[in-house]
């Protein structure tokens, strides 16, 4: 079917980081339409925006996420895919704001207090957005109060905490316990180079993984499209 064909092309562009017609990457798609143009075309054809998201953008991000988890691609490839997804999302965001397309929910992410690293956090944020979530990226060196304000402002939101230093794992524990104290049902995901499954269990967090796609898969299971 024509619809299936264009959705697969969108997924392919996201997977391989083809943002738009002008994008020279990847070389074998040079001069061809990218995720941005194809998403606009799919909307013009009357394809449901939610289907474009799930069968196009999400599928492409899932593929690159799986490759990243298997060490078949590296951070630059993921960033290129995220860029292509973001370009396509420019056409869908107005529809999210209007309520025509439903988001799964709100995902709040930040690097904990005392830690200024953000590459891993940003990759997770972009991949989660590609999974159909509204993402609130609080940045780096985020204090407990900022996370708790988000919990109060976005009922039912899911929290993601990142730390790259062993010294800031203390902040991760403090923030997790503070969130659970004000709202025990809030799901808290943690990640970062020094973090382990054992640490996750010890501080009362709900989920840990070293792989961004695993985090996306976990929260998507909580709230299916």
Residue where one domain finishes, among candidates 51, 76, 99: 99
- Please indicate, yes or no, whether residues 86 and 113 belong to a single structural domain of this protein: no
Residue where one domain finishes, among candidates 66, 99, 132: 99
- Is the pLDDT at 224 greater than 80, yes or no? no
| CA atoms of 172 and 191, how far apart (whole Å) | 10
Section 127-148 average pLDDT:
93
- Full domain range(s) for residue 131: 103-225
Lowest-confidence pick of 72-81, 93-102, 139-148, 149-158:
93-102
Q: Which domain CATH number covers 40? A: 1.10.1240.10
93: which residues sit within 8 A by CB, 6+ positions away?
A: none
- Please indicate, yes or no, whether residues 159 and 61 belong to a single structural domain of this protein: no
| CA atoms of 17 and 24, how far apart (whole Å) | 10
Section 169-182 average pLDDT:
96
> Among 45, 46, 47, 60, which residue's Cα sits nearest to residue 10?
60
Count of the separate structural domains present in the chain: 2
Residue where one domain finishes, among candidates 83, 99, 115: 99
pLDDT score recorded for residue 225: 65
- Is the pLDDT at 42 greater than 90, yes or no? yes
- Please indicate, yes or no, whether residues 123 and 82 belong to a single structural domain of this protein: no
- Is the pLDDT at 25 greater than 70, yes or no? yes
- Please indicate, yes or no, whether residues 124 and 197 belong to a single structural domain of this protein: yes
pLDDT score recorded for residue 132: 84
- Please indicate, yes or no, whether residues 131 and 210 belong to a single structural domain of this protein: yes
- Please indicate, yes or no, whether residues 137 and 52 belong to a single structural domain of this protein: no
- Is the pLDDT at 87 greater than 90, yes or no? yes
Q: Could you tell me the pTM of the whole model?
A: 0.82
């Amino acid at each position: 079917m024509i619809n299936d064909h264009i959705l697969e092309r969108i997924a392919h562009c996201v997977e391989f980081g083809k943002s738009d017609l002008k994008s020279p990457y990847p070389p074998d798609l040079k001069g061809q339409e990218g995720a941005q143009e194809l998403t606009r075309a799919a909307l013009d054809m009357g394809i449901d925006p939610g289907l474009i998201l799930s069968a196009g953008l999400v599928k492409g991000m899932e593929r690159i996420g799986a490759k990243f988890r298997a060490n078949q691609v590296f951070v630059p490839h993921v960033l290129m895919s995220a860029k292509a997804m973001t370009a396509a999302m420019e056409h869908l965001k107005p529809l999210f704001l209007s309520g025509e397309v439903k988001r799964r929910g709100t995902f709040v992410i930040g690097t904990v207090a005392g830690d200024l690293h953000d590459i891993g956090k940003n990759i997770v944020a972009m991949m989660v957005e590609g999974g159909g979530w509204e993402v609130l990226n609080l940045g780096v060196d985020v204090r407990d109060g900022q996370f708790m304000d988000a919990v109060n402002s976005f009922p039912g939101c899911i929290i993601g905490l990142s730390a790259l230093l062993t010294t800031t794992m203390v902040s991760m524990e403090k923030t997790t316990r503070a969130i659970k104290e004000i709202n025990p049902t809030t799901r808290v995901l943690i990640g970062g180079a020094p973090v382990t499954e054992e640490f996750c269990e010890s501080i009362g967090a709900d989920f840990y993984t070293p792989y961004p796609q695993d985090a996306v898969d976990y929260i998507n299971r909580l709230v299916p499209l």
